Amino acid sequence: MLKLMNTGPAIGKEPNYILNGLLNNRQPNWDKIEQYDWVKVLKNCPQDAIHHAEGDVWTHTRMVIDELLNDADYQALDARPQYILFLSALLHDIAKPVCTFEENGRIHSPRHAAVGEKMVRELLWNADFQEREKIAALVRLHGLPIWTMEKPSPERAIMAASCRVSNHWLYILAKADAKGRICEDKDELLFRIDIFKELCLENDCFYTPKSFHNAHSQFKYFQSDTDKYPSMIFDDTAFEVIILSGIAGSGKDSFHQKQFRDYPSVSLDAIRETHKIKPTDKDAQGKVIQIAYEQAKEYCRKKQSFVWNSTNLTADLRSKLIRTLSVYNPYFKIYYVETPLSNVFSRRQDDIPSDVLQRMIRQLDLPLPNEVHEIHYVRNGF
């Protein structure tokens, strides 16, 4: 279950992207596009000749966009979805220059989609949140239609994807990505993409997010190892665990006081202050986490709702917390809190070095709907 909240002065509602004006009458404005520094490095980034005989990443990107604009499914969309897909195609390989290396005569670009998602999010930070995250998701998942059947659970992969972005849009982007290259296995790639479409249609998650019986059924499905779509699971949760997430300085404490003032809190910052531990003291963080977990378990044993207040920036950290507390059967909610980066750096300049804050920004895994029962994205000006 996903919700977007705007509290305080609105951000992320600028009428134009930082990249706006790149389409004129739905045609690319190549002169403007090629002025960007990140485009210039794409021109100098080689690709493996077996999969990309067309040459460098920018040549491939141009070909992908040409294929996208001529695709009948793309042309049937409204103007805004078209623009989101256009930007996704333009940015889908933005991380290849930082991920590419040569080994034994072959060129590799591992994790370029995962790194690309983070780069896109930083580039479009103050753009409309929902549209920004659709673009970030398309960049992250653009290879999924080709590799779906290689996943441990293809059904789980496509259902989780549908909770982030339209699998129909992902299908359109993947087609353009496959056609916009020179390679001997293009027909095989397109066949895999068609299988992805059929699997999504069979599981009712091609045009819309996968629908579950209730939030608890969805949570249990994504937390389990089963490949089968679950029957309805009765929601017998008795209390809530509210997980706050966001970069230091994003306004989590202010949000907590405004929305959950009556809830007790497990705060890593408060524990550090009590025990006089600096945020930069890496050796002492294990002690902080241990104390926090014991406090959380005590609330859980009492079936008492509480707030876990920390940055919770990575999926691994959140997953560990959720797995640990799941045995107490709470209803998990994540509130991801975000503010302009200028606020982040100005608020924490006295206690957190700017390079540490920058690492946090680039470390961020945005919380996703398949992690918990309910998720809220909070844009604020705290």
Structural domains of the chain in order of their starting residue, each with its CATH number: 12-202 (1.10.3210), 240-380 (3.40.50.300)
Average pLDDT over the chain, rounded to an integer: 91
Average pLDDT over residues 45-51: 95
C-alpha 241/C-alpha 330 separation (Å) is 6
pLDDT band, very low/low/confident/very high, at 34 (cuts 50, 70, 90): very high
What is this structure's pTM?
A: 0.92
Return the pLDDT at 233. 87
Least confident of 5-14, 92-101, 250-259: 5-14
Could you report the per-residue pLDDT of 335-361, keeping only the tens digit for each?
A: 999 999 888 888 888 778 888 889 999
Which whole number is the average pLDDT over 181-201? 97
Residue 23's beta-bridge partner residues? 28
Q: Check residue 1 and give its pLDDT.
A: 52
What's residue 269's pLDDT?
A: 85
Model pLDDT, residue 318: 97
The β-bridge relationship of strands 106-108 and 331-338 is unpaired
**pLDDT attached to residue 138:** 98
* CA separation for the pair 142, 126 (Å, rounded): 23
Q: Give the list of residues 6+ apart from residue 16 with CB closer than 8 angstroms, or none.
A: none
In the three-class reduction of DSSP (H, G, I as helix; E, B as strand; rest coil), residue 301 is classed as: helix
Residue 15: per-residue pLDDT: 40
